Amino acid sequence: MTRLHGRRGLVTGAARGIGRQVAQRLADEGMRMTLLDVDPAVERAAAEMGASSLVVDLRDDEATRRGLAADADGDGDPYWLLVNNAGVFAKAPLLEMDLGQWDDLHRVNARSMVITMQALAPAMIASGRGGRVVNMASMAAKRGTPGEAAYAASKAAVVALSRIAAMELGPHQITVNSICPGYVLTEMGADTRSADQVAAWSAMSPLGRLGQPADVAAVIAFLASDDGAYITGQALNVTGGMCTW
Ligand SMILES: NC(=O)c1ccc[n+]([C@@H]2O[C@H](COP(=O)([O-])OP(=O)(O)OC[C@H]3O[C@@H](n4cnc5c(N)ncnc54)[C@H](O)[C@@H]3O)[C@@H](O)[C@H]2O)c1
């Protein structure tokens, strides 16, 4: 498959999990990829798929701007696709929540997307070709469970941010969508995941299973392609039917 051939894409949080699978799928479809992560393991992940890498902590505004500016200058071909996938998860009951946790989740999960869009969208606009932005939200933005107030609120911010960005960037033929995965089997949350929980969550899907990173990657590849050209401002569920609104 080469439907993305000749285009350039960047995926954040691509050292492992969903982001790595998204980057691999896009590379398999011919896209020239850059993988960004705070974890230096991203260098190996990128090398394995013939991609470039950037080790950047998205909590650090200036380092993020610097890293992306240097990367853009190094190539000269503006990105067609930005996938803001990096995220962190933590749980705490509302009445006991440390506000530092609230700030940290918002900083990585939502605020960093403003910076990456500010860094990359101007060159997309200047290219006159348009582009695509995909921001990783979560089913938690629409429902969520007790203990997820900070995480769910950060993901609801992603949905709202993406909707407004779609309005502002649409006139430049840049689409912006958020993705709301359900429960995807990755290392996120693995340390607290029990077999009973997996069974209970699986039963919530009419398809009877949890998501795989490949389920999410396929939707992002579609949005990045010409077939996704008229979809913007959406918060797309990839939940196996666990969430239907
Ligand atoms: N796994 C799920 O069930 C699920 C469900 C809905 C949404 N999501 C979202 O999907 C995205 C990917 O999740 P995942 O399950 O692959 O998680 P993961 O923990 O396996 O991977 C997250 C990646 O983001 C990177 N990252 C974290 N903080 C960073 C920072 N400050 N700077 C740069 N990189 C950073 C990590 O190093 C890691 O490589 C996240 O935004 C997550 O909230 C996951």
Beta-bridged to residue 118, according to DSSP, are none
pLDDT of 218 reads: 98
171: DSSP letter = G
This prediction has a pTM of 0.98
Q: Compute, in angstroms, the gap from residue 17 CA to the centroid of ligand 1.
A: 7
Q: Is the pLDDT of residue 96 over 70?
A: yes
Q: Compute, in angstroms, the gap from residue 199 CA to the centroid of ligand 1.
A: 22
**CB proximity list for 103: less than 8 A, separation 6 or greater:** none
Query: Which two tokens mark 71?
Result: 């990367």
| CATH number of the domain that residue 191 is part of | 3.40.50.720
Residue 224 forms part of a structural domain: yes
Q: Which residues have C-beta atoms less than 6 Å from ligand 1?
A: 13, 15-19, 37-39, 57-59, 85-89, 108, 136, 138, 181, 183-184, 186-188
Residue whose CA is at the smallest distance from ligand 1 atom 43: 87
**CB proximity list for 57: less than 8 A, separation 6 or greater:** 38, 63, 64
Q: How many CB atoms lie within 10 A of CB 60?
A: 15
pLDDT of 178 reads: 99
Section 27-48 average pLDDT: 98
Confidence at 189, pLDDT banded by 50, 70, 90? confident
Q: Cα-Cα-Cα-Cα dihedral of 140, 143, 147, 152, to 10°?
A: 40
Token pair 């979560």 in the structure block, residue: 138
Lowest mean pLDDT among 70-74, 128-132, 189-193: 70-74
Which residue segment(s) compose the domain that 60 sits in?
Answer: 8-235
Probe ligand 1: pick from 11, 16, 18, max atoms within 8 Å of CB? Answer: 18
pLDDT tens digit string along 52-80?
Answer: 999 999 999 999 999 999 877 556 789 99
Residue 243 forms part of a structural domain: no
pLDDT of 65 reads: 97
Probe ligand 1: pick from 44, 151, 188, 209, max atoms within 8 Å of CB? Answer: 188
Q: Cα–Cα distance between 119 and 130 in angstroms, integer?
A: 15
pLDDT of 119 reads: 97
Q: Compute, in angstroms, the gap from residue 137 CA to the centroid of ligand 1.
A: 10
Tell me whether residue 107 is exposed, middle or buried, using C-beta atoms within 10 angstroms of its C-beta: 0 to 12, 13 to 18, 19 or more: middle
pLDDT tens digit string along 145-173?
Answer: 999 999 999 999 999 999 999 999 999 99
Q: Compute, in angstroms, the gap from residue 22 CA to the centroid of ligand 1.
A: 12
Tell me which residues are annotated as active site: 151
Section 7-21 average pLDDT: 98
Tally of domains within the chain: 1
pLDDT of 73 reads: 59
Q: Cα–Cα distance between 53 and 23 in angstroms, integer?
A: 11
Q: Compute, in angstroms, the gap from residue 188 CA to the centroid of ligand 1.
A: 7
Q: Ligand 1, closest atom to CA 107?
A: 31
pLDDT of 192 reads: 78
Residue 1 forms part of a structural domain: no
pLDDT tens digit string along 225-235?
Answer: 999 999 999 99
Q: What's the mean pLDDT when you consider all of the chain?
A: 96
Q: Ligand 1, closest atom to CA 59?
A: 31
